[in-house]
């Protein structure tokens, strides 16, 4: 708080208090940084996941099974592609909003509202990507006998492990985005006129 | 000296044609609170779309002869079960918040503190509905297109009605999540208008 004091003609001292509105919200800054790190790690872990295996395929019952090289990559599954893209977008947005909120520091209200709106949209996209990757990963893990979708995790174990790790990390990142929105709401609620 | 008789001019009385009306009760002259009305409308839309999604997905059952009758139901996929459960929870909580907002609209100022907590419910519901939409959407997309790399064949050519019901349900839940975003945005905007400049 900055205060100035002056005396008017009557000799009465007055003090004018100027509220300092430029506050750095440290929890906001830390959350954004952590969200940036986590979404980056999740995108990278799934982005470099690849496993090559020799799968025995029995073409004719009389001949011994032939080993066919098969590979599991994240780009084979559209849900994983969506996951990597959304995490990359969220990571880029976390950096941009970090810089913007540090530069803004409560000065422009329109920018603060826009940042809250985009935080919300990013949170929804991240949650949907986690749900999509988890659903596909579950099918790959357990298979689905009703539609004859065989499981693949018994062959590509390392790939499935990387997918599971990426999903868990991204889930924590999306929870951080949720906390960002809630903290912004709390801040607005505290500063409002009663 | 003659004193002028004072002319007493009776004060001109404005004829009151109509009798004085009683002052209008102070509670009737309030301007419409557009935020509260929009709040109730959006919450009602969220509840309605969650209900429609759950009903459409629960009634999506199709049986095909291949050669023996094989049904396709939403209970055969854990992602679709999660979708129905999550949207049911969302519908239940949005019903509660709709009733709360409606009550606050009818009797303004009664429970402002509780209403201000509804926004937390909205944000959590958005996360849940978005994840459910993503999960069901990805499974339905694989059912629609198949995946040749892992040998998962498409099923929508066989079970056309089932896939159409799934697609409709997921589309309506996408609409619900957009309404939830608008709801949170509305609350944030109305909160920010109360902040002194």
Contact yes or no for A185 and B192 at CB 8 A: no
Smallest Cβ–Cβ distance between B120 and the set A125, A150, A182 belongs to A182
Please give the share of chain B, as a percent, with pLDDT higher than 90: 57
Is residue B79 within 8 A of residue B138, CB to CB? The reply is: yes
More confident residue, A58 or B157: B157
What pLDDT is attached to residue A3? 45
Instruction: Tell me which long-range contacts A141-146 makes (C-beta under 8 A, separation of at least 24).
Output: A142/B78, A144/B76, A144/B77, A146/B70, A146/B72, A146/B76, A146/B77
Chain B residues close to A181, C-beta within 8 Å? 123, 184
pLDDT number for residue A190: 84
The predicted pLDDT at position A57 comes to 81
Cα(B24)–Cα(B28) distance, rounded to whole angstroms? 7
Would you state the pLDDT for residue B69?
85
Q: Categorize the per-residue pLDDT at A193 as very low, low, confident or very high, splitting at 50, 70 and 90.
A: low
Range A100-107 average pLDDT: 84
- Give A117 or A14, the one with higher predicted confidence: A117
At residue A126, the pLDDT reads 97
Q: What is the DSSP letter of A149?
A: B
CB contact under 8 A, B195 and A178: no
Domain ranges of chain A: 21-193
Provide the ipTM. 0.83
Position A137 pLDDT exceeds 60: yes
Instruction: List % helix, strand, coil for chain B (3-state, nearest 5).
Output: 65, 5, 30
* Mean pLDDT calculated for residue range B118-139: 96
pLDDT in tens, B83-98: 999 999 999 999 999 9
Tell which wins on pLDDT, A189 or B99.
B99
DSSP codes of every residue in B2-58: PPPPP---PPPPPP--SPPPPPPPGGG-PPP-HHHHHHHHHHHHHHHHHHHHHHHHH
pLDDT on residue A23:
58
Is residue B76 predicted with pLDDT exceeding 60? yes
CA atoms within 13 A on the CB side of A7: 5
At A22 the three-state DSSP class reads coil
pLDDT higher for A18 or B171? B171
Chain B residues touching residue A136 (CB < 8 angstroms): 138-139, 142
SS3 state of residue A15: strand
- pLDDT tops 80 at residue A192: no
Interchain contact, B188 vs A178, CB within 8 Å: no
Facing B131 at nearest CB: one of A76, A113, A130: A130
Is pLDDT above 50 for A17? no
> Which of B143, B152, B193 to substitute to test the interface with A, most A CBs within 10 Å?
B152
């Amino acid at each position: 708080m900055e205060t100035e004091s002056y005396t008017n003609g009557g000799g009465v001292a007055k003090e004018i208090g100027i509220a300092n509105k430029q506050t750095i919200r440290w929890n906001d800054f830390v959350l954004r940084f952590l969200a940036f790190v986590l979404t980056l790690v999740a995108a990278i872990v799934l982005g470099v996941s690849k496993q090559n295996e020799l799968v025995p395929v029995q073409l004719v019952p009389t001949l011994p099974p032939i080993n066919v090289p098969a590979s599991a990559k994240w780009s084979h599954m559209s849900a994983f592609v969506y996951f990597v893209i959304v995490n990359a977008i969220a990571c880029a947005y976390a950096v941009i909003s970090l810089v913007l909120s540090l530069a803004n520091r409560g000065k422009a209200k329109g920018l603060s509202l826009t940042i809250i709106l985009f935080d919300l949209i990013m949170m929804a996209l991240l949650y949907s990507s986690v749900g999509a990757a988890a659903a596909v990963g579950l099918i790959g893990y357990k298979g689905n006998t009703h539609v004859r979708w065989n499981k693949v995790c018994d062959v590509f174990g390392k790939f499935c492990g990387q997918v599971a790790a990426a999903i868990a990390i991204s889930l924590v990142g999306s929870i951080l985005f949720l906390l960002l929105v809630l903290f912004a709401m709390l801040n607005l609620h505290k500063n409002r006129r009663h | 000296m003659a004193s002028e008789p004072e002319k007493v001019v009776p004060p001109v009385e404005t004829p009151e044609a109509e009798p004085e009306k009683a002052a209008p009760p102070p509670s009737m002259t309030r301007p419409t609170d557009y935020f509260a009305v929009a709040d109730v409308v959006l919450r009602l839309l969220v509840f309605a779309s969650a209900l429609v999604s759950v009903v459409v997905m629960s009634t999506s059952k199709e049986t095909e002869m291949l050669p023996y009758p094989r049904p396709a139901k939403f209970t055969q996929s854990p992602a679709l079960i999660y979708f129905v459960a999550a949207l049911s929870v969302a519908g239940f909580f949005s019903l509660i918040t709709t009733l709360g907002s409606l009550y606050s609209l009818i009797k303004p100022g009664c429970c402002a503190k509780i209403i201000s907590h509804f926004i937390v419910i909205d944000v959590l519901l958005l996360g849940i509905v978005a994840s459910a939409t993503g999960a069901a959407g990805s499974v339905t997309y694989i059912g629609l297109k198949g995946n040749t790399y892992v040998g998962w064949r498409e099923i929508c050519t066989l079970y056309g009605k089932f896939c159409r019901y799934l697609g409709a349900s997921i589309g309506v839940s996408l609409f619900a999540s957009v309404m939830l975003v608008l709801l949170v945005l509305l609350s944030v905007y109305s909160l920010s208008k109360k902040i002194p400049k």
